[in-house]
């Protein structure tokens, strides 16, 4: 039996996907730049993800750049019918690996074409527009020109659905006036809960919320209280953090990333962890866990 055999599902566009997926960012080299140290291990992680029931992979052609998508194609193409590959656009990398905005219509068109080519697809299931008005956190600024360009590509058939990432509530409202939005991807985890109200609003609208950095990202979640709770449940702290997210709201889809098969299995096993109500209440009071 796969680790996700009994995983609950949520709506992504007009399809249902298992709520625990896989984020491919860590398959690239250090700093999400260049090739991985062990390409064979990267291919093994992708194949194991599908073996364990993953049907939702998050990626981008600016990971590497191009490397991650090329690995996905090499490992998994031709893709199983149930697999949904979600990508994002609006950034590019310079020769040193810096992240630079690429939000003009021409740059977005080129990015969609590059994702299609490197993934070996005729249509992208979901394309997230990542706002580059703020590099590491959402910042206000209109997304109209960029979303209009992506909507035209959707009309041509290159894209099935659109989402937004690294965005404010104002930008989400603007986006929804322009095009149908099927998901929002922002930073969110036990210690970063700025989007609490937004998640609840989106749940009422049937729109998926996909936390990036669900385990803290480049600064992994650490807390003596979290470690103690994990020991009580015979789980790892990261499994508890993922299970809390799954129980936080039914519209949350998770995409924890790793370049290790063992770590992948550990993450996916969080789908089988049911947190008691009193544990959820303690986790909800994150500040108390760190006292």
pTM of this structure = 0.97
Domains of the chain are: 18-289 (3.20.20.100)
The DSSP code for 234 is T
* H or E, element range at 148: helix 144-156
Q: Kindly list the catalytic residues.
A: 63
For CA atoms 202, 206, 211, 215, the dihedral sign is positive
The whole-number pLDDT of residue 217 equals 81
Torsions phi, psi for 34 (to 5 deg): 80, 180
- The pair of three-digit structure tokens given for residue 40, joined into one six-digit string: 């064979």
Cα within 13 Å of Cα(216), Cβ side: 13
How many whole angstroms separate alpha carbon 265 and alpha carbon 167? 31
pLDDT in tens, the chain (291 residues): 899 999 999 999 999 999 999 999 999 999 999 999 999 999 999 999 999 999 999 999 999 999 999 999 999 999 999 999 999 999 999 999 999 999 999 999 999 999 999 999 999 999 999 999 998 789 999 999 999 999 999 999 999 999 999 999 999 999 999 999 999 999 999 999 999 999 999 999 999 999 998 988 878 888 899 999 999 999 999 999 999 999 999 999 999 999 999 999 999 999 999 999 999 999 999 878 886
242: helix, strand or coil = helix
Between strands 91-93 and 99-101, the pairing is antiparallel
Whole-Å CA distances, 190 to 1, 71, 214, 275: 30, 31, 8, 14
Where does residue 258 fall: left (phi above 0), alpha (psi -120 to 50 degrees), or beta otherwise?
beta
3-state helix, strand, coil in the chain (%, to 5): 40, 20, 40
Torsions phi, psi for 193 (to 5 deg): -120, 35
The whole-number pLDDT of residue 179 equals 97
């Amino acid at each position: 039996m796969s680790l996700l055999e009994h995983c609950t599902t949520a709506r992504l566009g007009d399809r249902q996907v298992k709520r625990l997926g896989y984020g491919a960012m860590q398959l690239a080299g250090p700093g999400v730049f260049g090739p991985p140290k062990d390409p064979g291990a990267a291919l093994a992680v992708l194949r194991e993800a599908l073996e364990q029931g993953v049907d939702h992979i998050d990626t981008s052609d600016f990971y590497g750049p191009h490397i991650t998508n090329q690995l996905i194609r090499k490992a998994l193409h031709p893709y199983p019918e149930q697999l949904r590959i979600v990508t994002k656009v609006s950034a590019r990398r310079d020769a040193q690996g810096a992240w630079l905005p690429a939000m003009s219509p021409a740059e977005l068109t080129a990015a969609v074409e590059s994702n299609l080519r490197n993934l070996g697809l005729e249509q992208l299931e979901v394309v997230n527009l990542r706002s580059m008005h703020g590099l590491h956190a959402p910042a206000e600024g209109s997304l109209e020109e960029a979303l209009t360009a992506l909507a035209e590509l959707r009309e041509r058939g290159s894209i099935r659905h659109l989402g937004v990432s690294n965005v404010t509530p104002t930008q989400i409202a603007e986006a929804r006036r322009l095009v149908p939005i099927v998901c929002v991807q922002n930073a969110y985890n036990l210690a970063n809960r700025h989007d609490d109200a937004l998640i609840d609003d989106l749940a009422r609208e049937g729109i998926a919320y996909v936390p990036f950095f669900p385990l803290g990202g480049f600064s992994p979640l650490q807390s003596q209280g979290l470690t103690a709770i994990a020991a009580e449940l015979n789980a790892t702290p990261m499994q508890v953090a993922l299970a809390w997210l799954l129980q936080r709201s039914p519209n949350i889809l998770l995409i924890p990333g790793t370049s290790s098969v063992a770590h992948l299995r550990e993450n996916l096993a969080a789908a089988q962890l049911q947190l008691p109500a009193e544990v959820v209440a303690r986790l909800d009071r994150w500040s108390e866990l760190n006292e």
